[in-house]
Amino acid sequence: MSYFGRNIKKIRSVKKLSQQAFAELFDLKRGTLGAYEEGRSEPKIDTIIKIANHFSIQIDSLLKNELTVNELLQFKGDLTTYTEQLKREQFAVIPCITEKNSSEYITSYKDAGFIKELPVIQLPINPEKEFRAYTVSNLEMTHHDTGFYPKDIVIGERVPLDIIKKLNNNTLVFSLVDDKLIFRRLYVTKNSITLRADHKNIEDATYTISEVKELWRVRYIFCHRIPEFTDVVHDKIHLIENELEKIWKKLK
């Protein structure tokens, strides 16, 4: 006695598939599938092989054993159908600025064809937003052996130029400005921005907002080592510096 009919009926039940959907998947008629399930007809060997392969089930198990729901759920096959409109997770495809292509990026950042040729990173983040990856190439964002080192990668979300003034001070950004790509912390004044490095020996770079060609707010970080970004004292000092700067401006 073959358990084929019972098993395919159980597969349909587990996956909530109608007889029509299951039949279309294997080029069968709905009535033929019904006959299999009711034991009124036996399938051809090629049909058995198709079904077994599709659901990653051994042919012997499909024919000779009554499969349990738990067994069906443990099979590595995804038990999906091509007739269902499946919602698969879409990964964002992120062009990556590297040390090798950065010079060309500065001159060709508006060229859609050039952007498509950049190496990419794919991440499970919102694919509807525009992101850019930037490979760190210097030590400007290090401080007492912490921070960002060469070959670390930061992922930035595009900031429309007309809302730069709304960003909080101390925000990590990388920007294309004055024919340079700069990764630093952002400080905004009335009509200008200051890009400040964490390394104390690096001077601030100040530009008018109109000079900014692109600005990307850092959202994600990938490091080549376990970073020490949990320096609470360091973070508090940054906040205090920020508040003192605001007070100083008011006193001027």
In this structure, are residues 55 and 22 in contact, taking their beta carbons and an 8 Å threshold?
A: no
The range of the structural domain enclosing residue 131 comes to 92-251
State residue 2's pLDDT score.
75
State residue 54's pLDDT score.
84
In this structure, are residues 188 and 217 in contact, taking their beta carbons and an 8 Å threshold?
A: no
Number of domains present in the structure of the chain: 2
Q: Which residues on adjacent β-strands are paired with residue 155? A: 133, 220
Here the CATH number for the domain that contains residue 48 is: 1.10.260.40
Looking at the fold, whether 122 and 246 belong to one and the same domain comes out as yes
In this structure, are residues 130 and 108 in contact, taking their beta carbons and an 8 Å threshold?
A: no
State residue 221's pLDDT score.
92
Q: Residue holding tokens 């930035």?
A: 156
Strand residues in 189-232 grouped as ranges (E): 192-196, 205-208, 212-222
Q: Minimal CA–CA distance to 162: which of 129, 210, 111, 216?
A: 210
Give percent helix, percent strand, percent coil of the chain, each to the nearest 5: 35, 25, 40
State residue 118's pLDDT score.
96
Looking at the fold, whether 70 and 98 belong to one and the same domain comes out as no
State residue 227's pLDDT score.
54
Distance CA 202, CA 208 (A): 19
Q: What is the mean pLDDT of each run of 10 residues along the chain (252 residues)?
A: 84 87 90 90 88 84 83 57 49 94 96 95 89 96 87 96 94 95 95 95 95 97 69 62 74 64
State residue 252's pLDDT score.
60
Looking at the fold, whether 64 and 98 belong to one and the same domain comes out as no
State residue 50's pLDDT score.
87
State residue 84's pLDDT score.
44
**Number of other residues whose CB lies within 10 A of the CB of residue 131:** 22
Looking at the fold, whether 45 and 158 belong to one and the same domain comes out as no
Which pair of structure tokens corresponds to residue 21?
Answer: 């959907």
State residue 235's pLDDT score.
62
Residue 82 lies in a domain: no
